[in-house]
Amino acid sequence: MPQENDQQHYPPGKGKHEARRDFLKQSSAVMALALTPPLVIKAAQHDEAIAGIFEKMPVSMEINGKKVQVSVEPRVTLLDLLREQLQLTGTKKGCDHGQCGACTVHADGRRINSCLTLAVMQEGKKITTIEGLANGEELHPVQEAFIKHDGFQCGYCTPGQIMSAVACIREGHAGSPEEIREFMSGNICRCGAYDNIVHAIMDVKQGGKTV
């Protein structure tokens, strides 16, 4: 039988996040604290909003050509930062374990699984996501080729496939269908569009357009 919820979540008296506040007070890792007036630290012991600020770290990067300065908890992955805080939802979460490639983005031109890196580790990096690949209205040649060769069905793995495909060509790993199949095997497509993906990449490679 469902019962009425006990609404008294927080014991009276002591602050509800006492242990964490003690940690904040003592922590030397949070550099900002060294410069923070004691009054604010005291306030943080009782105020969730203020505490939240101290638990975050500033990070700046360039995402799709735009400077982005954000403050994030150190445990936030690049993927979750993109999706949940910056609303760059083109990058997808398929496994959160670096096993499927749906979250592939470029960091300083290199393809990475954005679920396997913390946002704070990308300080100063240039990040390119699927939203930053086209030149305005003009699609990137790999995007064009994916449409032409139907390199997808549901489209969910597609942003990751395309980011990976662009890098695959730039790396010089698109010399033959066999090589492409090998170097695109970090990106799972459960709809099974692999054959079409290979055709799309070969088409771009042979088309000679700069990627």
Partner 1 sequence: MKKQQTGQSMDRVDGRLKVTGGARYFADHHLPDLLYAALVCSPISSGTIKSINTTKALKAPGVADVVSHLNAPPVPGYKNADPGAKDGLKIFKDNRIYSNGQPVAVVLANTLERAVHAASLVEVQYNQETHYTDMNASMDKAFRNNRMKDYVRGDADAWKKAAVTVDATYTIPLEVHNPMELAGIIAHWDTPDTLVLYAKTQGVKNVQDTVKRLFQLPEQNITVHSRFVGGGFGMALRVWPMEVATILAAKKIRKPVKLVITRDQMFTLVGYRPSAIQKLSLGATSDGKLTGITHEAVAVTSPYEDFTEGIVAMSKFMYACPNVNTRYKLVPLNLSTPVWMRGPGEATGAFALESAIDELSYKLNIDPLQLRILNHADTDPEKDLPFSSKYLKEAYELGAEKIGWTNRKAAPRSMQEDGMLVGYGMSSGTFGAFRGRATVSATLKSDGSLILQSAAADIGPGTATAMVQIAADVTGIAPSKIQFMLGESAYPFAPQQGGSSTVSTLGSAVTDACKALQQKLASLAVSNVPAFKNATPETIVFEDGQLLKAGGQEKITYESLLQQQQLPEVNVVATSQSGEERKKYSMYSFSVHFTKVHVHPQTGVVRIKHIVSVADAGTIVNTKTARSQMIGGVVGGIGMALTEEAILDHRFGRFVNNNYADYHVPVNADTPPTNVYFINKKDPYINPMGSKGMGEIALIGFAAAVSNAVYHATGKRVRDLPITPDKVLDEKAAQQWKVENKLNT
Q: Residue from 23, 71, 195, 207 that binds partner 1 (CB under 8 A)?
A: 195
Smallest distance from partner 1 to CB 208, Å: 20
Binding-residue pattern over the window 125 to 164 for partner 1, x denoting contact by CB under 8 A: ----xxx-xx----x---x--xxx-x-xxxxxxxx--x--
| Of 194, 188, 62, residue with least CA distance to 123 | 62
CA pair distance 202, 121, nearest whole angstrom: 34
Which parts of 20-49 interact with partner 1 (CB under 8 A)?
20, 48
211 lies in the binding site for partner 1 (CB under 8 A) = no
Report how far apart the first and last C-alpha atoms of the chain are (Å, whole number).
61
59 lies in the binding site for partner 1 (CB under 8 A) = no
- Is the distance from CB of 33 to CB of 54 less than 8 angstroms? yes
Smallest distance from partner 1 to CB 168, Å: 10
114 lies in the binding site for partner 1 (CB under 8 A) = no
Query: 58 forms bridges with which residues in the sheet?
Result: 71
Q: Residue from 69, 87, 135, 210 that binds partner 1 (CB under 8 A)?
A: 87
12 lies in the binding site for partner 1 (CB under 8 A) = no
Task: Give the count of beta carbons closer than 10 Å to the beta carbon of residue 64.
Answer: 16
Nearer to partner 1, 61 or 103 (CB): 103
Smallest distance from partner 1 to CB 108, Å: 20
CA pair distance 104, 96, nearest whole angstrom: 11
Show the beta-strand stretches assigned E in the chain. Answer: 57-63, 66-72, 104-107, 110-113, 126-128
